[in-house]
Each structure stands twice: as C-alpha cells, then as structure tokens.
Amino acid sequence: MRIGVLALQGAFIEHRKKIEALGAESFEIRSGKDLDRQLDGIILPGGESTVMGKLLLELNMTKTLIHMISEGIPVFGTCAGLILMAQNIVGEERTHLGTMDITARRNAYGRQLGSFCASGCFGDETEIPMTFIRAPYIQETGKEVDILSSVDGRIVAARQKNQLVTAFHPELDDDNRVYRYFLDMAERS
Ligand code: GLN
C-alpha cells in the first residue's frame, strides 16, 4: 500500500509517520509528476487552504487531482484538506477541488477558540482524541455523505464514497484509528 501525502505546504510529515507506523509506504507529492506514481491513496494535509489551493493551480495539479478523485482514488483531507475538497465554502465564491458534497465553514470556532482539544466518537468506535487548529466545521452535507463524527452538534468528520474528511488533526494525536479507517478504505478500493 502506497499513500501519497500532498507536501506543498502545511503539516505533511506527521501524516507520513502515521502511515508508516501502520506498515504502509508513504511519499511526498510535490509536483504533477508525483501523481503519476503508483498510488493507492492521497492525503491532503492541514495548513492554509488558500495557499495550498493557489499552489495546486500554479503547479497544474488541480484538474488532475479532481479527475483522480472522481475516478475513485481514496482521498483523506484534514482541516485545510477538508476545505480544499468542499463543494461550497461559506462566504467564498471560489472553491478549490470541490469534489465532496459538503459546505465548509472556515475558521469556524472564532479567534478565542482557535485551537483546542476535544474528544468524540468516530464512526461506530469509542471516543477518539481530536485536536482542532483554526479549524473548519462542516455546515451542511449532501445526500451521499455519511457523517462520521459530530462534536457539540457540529459535524467534524464525514465520508462520501472514496472521500474522507476530518476538521481535526488526527496526525497530532496518539491514536491511529482514523488512519486505520483510511487504509482500510484504500485496501478495499
Ligand atoms: N484555517 C485554515 C484554512 O482555512 C485551516 C487550518 C488548518 O489546516 N489547521 O485553510
């Protein structure tokens, strides 16, 4: 199993460590050529979605990624990655990849509560720790989207077929269940 982690900006190294701790291979996606490599799944990390979206366009990677996702490659977006994948972003006209039928609200917890830790259920599992950093939440989901996790009534993890998103940063916590879930998606696809 080989997972490519988008490494243009943001928190990608921690994702690689998690993937490798679970026995899969990882590599960094830095340009369009890296998308031609043998690839069983893609992680879009946290960071700054506007910067990442701009870099994807500049490097001519946006259309290729949209195509790969629509063809079914498993993709996992955390935080800014979730925003990249959202079909709608509250208060913004432009979207980035726009592959997932969700509406994201950026920096949704305000400045005071910019970063915090919480815990919540993920899928059918017991509680997992969740670290939020200037996080978005999902304000609305389309019909094909399964909600995997809500904290205080706000949706913070969801899946639509081959697409998984979390508003929190599972790469920063000592718990691998979200990665097991994603690797399982990749194995089955
Ligand atoms: N606030 C960032 C954005 O809007 C996301 C923050 C993160 O990825 N930790 O892109």
Contact 108, 79 (CB under 8 A): no
- The response to whether residue 46 sits with its C-beta less than 6 Å from ligand 1 reads yes
Using CA positions, which residue lies closest to atom 5 of ligand 1? Answer: 80
**CA–CA separation, 8 vs 182, rounded Å?**
21
Domain borders along the chain are 2-188
- The response to whether residue 107 sits with its C-beta less than 6 Å from ligand 1 reads yes
The ligand 1 atom nearest the CA atom of 45: 8
Using CA positions, which residue lies closest to atom 8 of ligand 1? Answer: 46
pLDDT of residue 113: 61
CA of 78 to the centre of ligand 1 (A): 9
Residues annotated as catalytic (active site), given as ranges: 79, 169, 171
Confidence at 114, pLDDT banded by 50, 70, 90: confident
pLDDT of residue 31: 97
pLDDT of residue 127: 92
Please tell me the pTM assigned to this model: 0.97
Tens digits of per-residue pLDDT, 103-113?
999 998 876 66
Confidence at 99, pLDDT banded by 50, 70, 90: very high
Consult the annotation and say whether 77 binds a ligand.
Answer: no
**CA–CA separation, 107 vs 95, rounded Å?**
16
Consult the annotation and say whether 49 binds a ligand.
Answer: yes
Pocket test for ligand 1, best of 107, 117, 172 (most atoms within 8 A of CB): 107
**CA–CA separation, 36 vs 29, rounded Å?**
10
Question: How does DSSP classify residue 34?
Answer: G
pLDDT of residue 109: 84
**CA–CA separation, 139 vs 12, rounded Å?**
26
Consult the annotation and say whether 188 binds a ligand.
Answer: no
Tens digits of per-residue pLDDT, 13-47?
999 999 999 999 999 999 999 999 999 999 999 99
Contact 77, 44 (CB under 8 A): yes
pLDDT of residue 38: 93
Residues 89-108 have a mean pLDDT of 96
**CA–CA separation, 56 vs 162, rounded Å?**
21
- The response to whether residue 54 sits with its C-beta less than 6 Å from ligand 1 reads no
Q: Which fold has domain 2-188?
A: Rossmann fold (3.40.50)
Tens digits of per-residue pLDDT, 76-89?
999 999 999 999 99
Confidence at 159, pLDDT banded by 50, 70, 90: very high
- The response to whether residue 83 sits with its C-beta less than 6 Å from ligand 1 reads yes
**CA–CA separation, 93 vs 38, rounded Å?**
34
**CA–CA separation, 59 vs 71, rounded Å?**
21
Residues 146-160 have a mean pLDDT of 96
| Cα dist from 91 to 94, 95, 105, 118, 166, whole Å | 9, 11, 8, 26, 20
Consult the annotation and say whether 134 binds a ligand.
Answer: yes
pLDDT of residue 67: 98
Query: Is 144 strand, coil or helix?
Result: coil
- Tokens representing 32 are 């369009």
- The response to whether residue 79 sits with its C-beta less than 6 Å from ligand 1 reads yes
